[in-house]
Amino acid sequence: MWAQDLLNFAQAVYVADRVSRRAATADRWTRELELAVQVIDAHPWCGRAGRLARDLAAALTGDRWLIEFHGGAQPAPETIPGFPGFSDCIEPEIALFSGGLDSTGYVVERARIAGPPLVLVANDHPGLQLLQRSIVNGIPGQQRVVQLRQFSLQPTGFETTELSNRSRGLLYAATGIYVTAAHAARRLAIPENGFMAINLPLTASRSGSLSTRSTHPWTVYLLNGLIDAVGGDVQVVNPYLDMTKGEVVGRARDHQATPQFLAQTISCGDHSANRSRPSAHCGYCFPCLVRRSAMLAALDSDPTEYTCRLDEASRDPRRGRHLRALRHHLGREITIEDVIGDMPFPDSPTAQSALPCWSAVD
């Protein structure tokens, strides 16, 4: 019940985020949003849980939220068409799977360890369905069953007017939590290297929610606190928080993942440039730049298909802006003040523990 209510909350936040235009606000970003969420049981969502829900939505979107919870939602049936076969594997290992380098590296690593089924929760994006299946089918040296479960993230019945989409990570995580609880499991892994999870703003203009924070330690802390406050028993963890992306690729390499296999994963943040070829990367966005660095550092080569060479991007005012911002960011010393200045850190992991992610990249 609690996991369905959490999913209802995440869906409501997502819809509110997508239908409220930031351009109509005074600063063209920060909105004041009032939201009524229908859950099965509203009582657990009062007090601490309600405050955590508000803080979580605010941390992800950068908006000011007023959220009220009301009872009356209908419980979902035990077997849900979108998630078939809940009863066929009790207490499996659950992880979110995007088809990116980090989530693929995690599957490569965990699939070689004999044990219960490894269930991967993935977004059923039309352009990524076949790619995700191809990656999972090609995992080397599997010692256990790996089940890919794809689903549609986006609720239907509303018209999208806002493109920033900062709440998508909450909806993705809440769906993974729902699947985890339905399998009677206790742990959901969201693999994301520390450099990208903390995602410090490259420039002052990208501070706050202008940079995504879906796997930031503070976000995970708030999410776990919310789960506990509503009576849940699932813990969300990021097993790669203390690694760089290059270290993640290196571990995948050590588990027999070839450069050609890793090259089919997707990292690009500019999907609009490659809608006809989901496996292609623009080559110049921030995620592509980090990917280039990781592949070269771990493999000494990068067979990834990029639509734009790096030297071409550096000469282009628009496409080169990410490269210039990243060079500026890495050209200075990163301090504790930088790490905590944009978003708080929980007591564990500490901000101090995050600093090696930047020294290793440098």
Residues 178 and 37 in one domain: yes
Q: Residue 350, SS3?
A: coil
Residues 269 and 193 in one domain: no
43 CB-near residues (< 8 Å, 6+ apart): 71
Residues 53 and 69 in one domain: yes
Q: How many residues does the chain have?
A: 362
Residues 264 and 253 in one domain: no
Structural contact between residues 271 and 245, judged by C-beta atoms closer than 8 angstroms: no
DSSP 73-111: PPPPPSSBTTB--GGGSSS-EEEE--SSHHHHHHHHHHH
Residues 243 and 280 in one domain: no
pLDDT given at position 318:
83
Q: Of 204, 231, 258, which residue is a domain's last? A: 258
pLDDT given at position 210:
52
Residues 174 and 215 in one domain: yes
Residue 4 CA to residue 177 CA, distance in Å, equals 9
What pLDDT tens digit does each residue of the chain (362 aa) get? 899 999 999 999 999 999 999 998 999 999 999 999 999 999 999 999 999 999 999 999 999 999 999 999 999 876 544 455 454 556 799 999 999 999 999 999 999 999 999 999 998 777 788 999 999 999 999 999 999 999 887 777 778 788 888 899 999 999 999 999 988 899 999 999 999 999 887 865 555 445 678 999 999 999 999 999 999 999 999 999 999 999 999 999 999 999 999 999 999 987 554 445 656 899 999 999 999 999 999 999 999 999 999 888 888 888 888 888 888 777 778 888 888 887 899 998 888 888 777 666 64
pLDDT given at position 208:
46
Task: Tell me which residue range forms the domain holding 152.
Answer: 1-258
Residues 87 and 47 in one domain: yes
Residue 287 CA to residue 361 CA, distance in Å, equals 14
pLDDT given at position 295:
98
Q: Of 258, 280, 301, which residue is a domain's last? A: 258
Residues 241 and 355 in one domain: no
Phi, psi (5° rounding) for residue 85? 75, 30
Residues 266 and 120 in one domain: no
Number of domains in the chain: 2
Question: Which residues on adjacent β-strands are paired with residue 33?
Answer: 65
233 CB-near residues (< 8 Å, 6+ apart): 181, 186, 227
Q: Of 258, 275, 301, which residue is a domain's last? A: 258
Please give the C-alpha separations between residue 63 and each of 34, 84, 140, 359, in angstroms, as whole numbers. Answer: 10, 36, 43, 32
Rg, Å, the chain Cα set: 20
Residues 73 and 184 in one domain: yes
Residues 165 and 305 in one domain: no
Residues 164 and 214 in one domain: yes
Tokens 């009582």 -> residue: 43
